[in-house]
């Protein structure tokens, strides 16, 4: 396990790529400030985490806990310890519930760490709040979403502005945000229903109780980007939110250079302008939607680089050959930060996962938003309507925010992003927002100051005092 010197911050990410990576970036920032970090994970996830944090090996311990292989984990095949390997996103809830069986092992491991100053865990690992209370240390929860989405989901539940709507596409406004118009289709089922119910709702209610008992919320964002929603959270919901991002800017120089020799990077060196296409590790795309996207890209005659899951290729027979020369399909892991920062990338067609949004902003690349699941629809709204760093690809008919996006819409909006006036407009805005992100994380910036203040606040508390 390795030795830990004081003070020690415990970090426990959910075993999902999009949830883990920002917390590992946070571990880097803590290490650079003289804080020893213990990262908890499972045996199957430990090697990649060790590789990610190899430059911090002397001050970071990776502690492995057995992942439960138990009947409670219905739909989770034996040996699966990361949501990326689940057969379907439908098993996500059961996977997350199963993590609670790790609690006894977690608490036993905590006994060997002295002194633990705090536990920073994923918001969906609510059971760690009970563990934190037992050892008398504060728990801070990390929500991998924007302050915009995190706040609006809670405000939807509290204010119920959608209660009088007759359809999922009927617009409504929030009493607390009168200038903001949304629809129920901007929120993920079942939470967008008038009377939401079911296992996922019950699970999130339980997590909400743990959040309320926690000491604070750590947000991967910067205050200037989402001040309205951070202030609403702090004044009306709580516990206190600390904006310490964008955490992707904590990437090391080793990581930044890690993919220089990949064929896709060499291809990028000789092609311009290029649209990067990526829909993340968790989004599930129907064969019908995948074909529409492919046809739209093909007809756009735009150069593109598409990071795609190999299992999806069976739905794109002949496509790779037809676009050969101006389109590249990358089936292996890619360093998305490297690609986005490449001088020949002019835009990104994205699912609008929050990590991807921040990486695009920090690389100053405008976003063509095509959301699928979770809070991605709200992020798409935020990107296109709130801060203006992207354009939206709309489903068939243009009235609903849910449904199949047709090839002709993909073609039209790709051309607009890459060649049109609106593409140029959002490109200018993302330059400014990207500069603000870098400033926030630099010495003296608000995110940097917030992390320093959080560390000081935690470390000045006597050990064993959680409240």
**How many C-alpha atoms does 351 have within 13 Å on its Cβ side?**
21
Q: Can you tell me whether residue 112 is helix, strand or coil?
A: coil
The helix (run of H) or strand (run of E) holding residue 330 is strand 327-330
Q: Which domains does the chain have, with CATH numbers?
A: 8-251+440-459 (3.40.50.2000), 258-438 (3.40.50.2000)
CB 367, CB 348: distance < 8 Å: yes
β-strand pairing of 60-64 with 116-122: unpaired
Task: Return mean pLDDT, the chain.
Answer: 92
What pLDDT score was predicted for residue 90?
A: 85
pLDDT at 337 (0 to 100): 92
Greatest Cα pair distance in the chain: 65
Q: Which residues fall within 8 angstroms of residue 263, CB to CB, at 6 or more apart? A: none
- pLDDT for 465 beyond 90: no
pLDDT digits (tens, 9 = 90+) for 242-276: 999 999 999 865 544 456 668 899 999 999 999 99
Q: What is the pLDDT of residue 364?
A: 98
pLDDT at 235 over 80: yes
pLDDT tens sequence across 409-449:
999 999 999 999 999 999 999 999 999 999 999 999 999 99
């Amino acid at each position: 396990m390795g030795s830990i010197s004081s003070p020690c911050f415990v970090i426990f990410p959910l075993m999902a790529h999009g949830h883990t990576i920002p917390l590992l970036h946070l571990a880097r920032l803590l290490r650079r400030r003289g804080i020893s970090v213990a990262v908890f994970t499972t045996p199957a996830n430990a090697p990649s985490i060790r590789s990610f944090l190899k430059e911090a090996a002397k001050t970071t311990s990776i502690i492995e806990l057995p992942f439960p292989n138990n009947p409670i984990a219905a739909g989770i095949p034996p040996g699966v310890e990361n949501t990326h390997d689940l057969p379907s996103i439908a098993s996500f809830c059961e996977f997350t519930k199963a993590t609670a069986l790790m609690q006894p092992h977690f608490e036993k491991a905590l006994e060997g760490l002295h002194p633990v100053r705090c536990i920073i865990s994923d918001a969906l690992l609510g059971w760690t709040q009970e563990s934190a209370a037992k050892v008398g240390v504060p728990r801070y929860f990390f929500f991998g979403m924007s302050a915009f989405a995190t706040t609006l989901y809670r405000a939807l539940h509290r204010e119920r502005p959608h209660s009088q709507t007759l359809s999922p596409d009927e617009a409504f406004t929030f009493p607390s945000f009168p200038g903001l118009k949304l629809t129920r289709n901007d929120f993920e089922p079942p939470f967008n229903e008038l009377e939401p119910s079911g296992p996922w709702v019950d699970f999130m209610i339980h997590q909400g109780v743990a959040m309320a008992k926690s000491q604070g919320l750590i947000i991967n964002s910067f205050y200037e980007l989402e001040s309205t929603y951070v202030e609403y959270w702090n004044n009306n919901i709580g516990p206190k939110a600390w904006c310490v991002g964008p955490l992707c800017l904590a990437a090391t120089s080793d990581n930044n250079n890690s993919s220089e020799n990949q064929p896709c990077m060499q291809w990028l060196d000789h092609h311009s302008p290029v649209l990067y296409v990526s829909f993340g590790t968790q989004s599930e795309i129907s064969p019908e939607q995948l074909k529409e996207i492919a046809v739209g890209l093909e007809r756009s005659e735009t150069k593109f680089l598409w990071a795609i899951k190999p299992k999806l290729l069976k739905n794109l027979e002949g496509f790779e050959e037809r676009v050969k020369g101006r389109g590249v399909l990358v089936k292996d892991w890619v360093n998305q930060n490297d690609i986005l920062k490449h001088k020949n990338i002019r835009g990104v067609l994205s699912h609008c996962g929050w990590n991807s949004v921040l990486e695009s902003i920090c690389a100053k690349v405008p976003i063509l938003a095509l959301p699928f699941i979770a809070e991605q629809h709200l992020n798409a709204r935020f990107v296109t309507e709130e801060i203006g760093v992207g354009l939206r690809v709309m489903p068939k008919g243009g009235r609903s925010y849910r449904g199949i996006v047709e090839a002709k819409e993909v073609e039209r909006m790709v051309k607009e992003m890459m060649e049109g006036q609106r593409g140029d407009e959002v490109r200018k805005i993302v330059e400014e927002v990207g500069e603000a992100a870098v400033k926030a994380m630099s010495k003296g910036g608000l995110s940097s100051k917030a992390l320093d203040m959080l560390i000081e606040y935690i470390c000045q508390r006597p050990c064993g005092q959680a409240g």
